[in-house]
Amino acid sequence: MGNNSAYQLIEDCNATNKALYKFYAAVMIVIFILALPLNASVLHLFIFKLKFWKSNTNNIFLFNLVVADILLLFCLPIKAYNFIEGERRSSNDVVCKAMLFMLFLNRGASIAFLTVTSIDRYFNVVHPGRKNLLRAIKKSPQISIIIWLLLLPLTIPTMLQNFDCCNSHKSEDEPKNDALIKDVVDSVREAVFFTQIIIPFIILVYCTVRIVNRLRKKTVGDKTKLRRAVFLVTSVMVVFSFCFLPCTIARVVLLVVRVKELAEVYQDKAAVAFDGLMVLSYMDCLLDPLVYCFCSTKFKALYLTNYFPFLQKGIQVPLDSSTGQNSHPARSHVI
- For the chain, how many residues are written? 335
Could you give the CA distance from residue 25 to residue 43 in angstroms, rounded to a whole number? 26
Digit-coded pLDDT (tens) for 84-111: 999 888 888 888 888 888 888 888 898 8
pLDDT band at 34; cut points 50, 70, 90: very high
pLDDT band at 315; cut points 50, 70, 90: very low
Q: What is the pLDDT of residue 49?
A: 84
pLDDT band at 325; cut points 50, 70, 90: very low
Could you give the CA distance from residue 244 to residue 55 in angstroms, rounded to a whole number? 30
pLDDT band at 62; cut points 50, 70, 90: confident
Instruction: Say if residue 307's pLDDT is above 60.
Output: yes
* Angle made by CA atoms 62, 66, 68, in degrees to the nearest 5: 115
Digit-coded pLDDT (tens) for 239-267: 899 999 999 999 999 888 887 877 677 88
Q: Which residues of 29-65 are buried (b: 16+ CB within 10 A; e: fewer)?
A: bebbeebbebbebbbebbeebbebeebebbbbbbbbb
Pick the CATH number of 3-162+175-325 from 3.40.30.10, 1.20.1070.10, 3.40.50.300, 3.40.50.720: 1.20.1070.10
Residue 326 backbone dihedrals phi, psi, to 5 degrees: -60, 130
* Angle made by CA atoms 311, 312, 316, in degrees to the nearest 5: 170
Digit-coded pLDDT (tens) for 7-32: 566 666 888 889 999 999 999 999 99
pLDDT band at 164; cut points 50, 70, 90: low
β-bridge mates for residue 87, sequence order: 14
Sequence-separated (6 or more) residues with CB below 8 Å from residue 116: 61, 134, 147
